[in-house]
A = this chain, B = another copy of it.
Amino acid sequence: MADPRPEAQRPLDPDEEALVRALGQVMYVVPRTIDADMVGDRQLPLTEYTALMNLSEAPERRMRMHELANACYLSLSGMTRTIIRLESQGLVKRERCEEDARGWNAVLTDAGFARLEESWPSHLAAVRRRFLRHFEGLDLAELARAFRRAGAAD
């Protein structure tokens, strides 16, 4: 990380500076407001919604733990605990993996699928209201590419 070459230390130009100062809004405020909307509306925290949603899109509605952890931007241990919470609500169950007995699949139950169907409108509304509508008129596809680049390791 430490690479204190002069070039790297050139001060930000005003537009860069404005963007960096505004970054906190998207890093901190947006996730909290979306989560608060979901919890207030459907009692389903964003982390748990994200897990259910990823499972619902997977083949046979099941995923290995590390796969799901990645998809949810969570550590493996964080994912274990999230699945425990969902399991205790009957929304997910765990099944040993056929091909590798070390592995587990998190599997969406019918109750989990129902919970998701009941909750997605709330998530959609929150995402529109707290995020998407503020980007009208911008090139969303290009922006999406930039977001993905920023998240890619290096």
Contacts and interface: CB of A to CB of B under 8 A. Distances in A.
A26 B130 contact: no
7 closest A-B pairs (Cβ-Cβ)? A25-B151, A22-B147, A28-B73, A134-B149, A15-B140, A18-B144, A29-B151
Contacts of A59: none
A143 interface: yes
Given A8-B125, A140-B18, A29 B73 contact: yes
Interface band, chain A: 35 or more
A41 interface: yes
A26 B30 CA distance: 10
Is chain A's interface secondary structure helix, strand, loop, or mixed overall? helix
Contacts of A21: 144
Copies of the protein in its oligomer? 2
Contacts of A149: 134
24 contacts: A1-B40, A1-B122, A2-B41, A2-B125, A8-B128, A9-B125, A12-B124, A15-B141, A16-B140, A20-B131, A22-B143, A22-B144, A22-B151, A23-B131, A23-B147, A25-B151, A27-B27, A27-B31, A28-B73, A29-B151, A30-B151, A130-B150, A134-B150, A138-B146
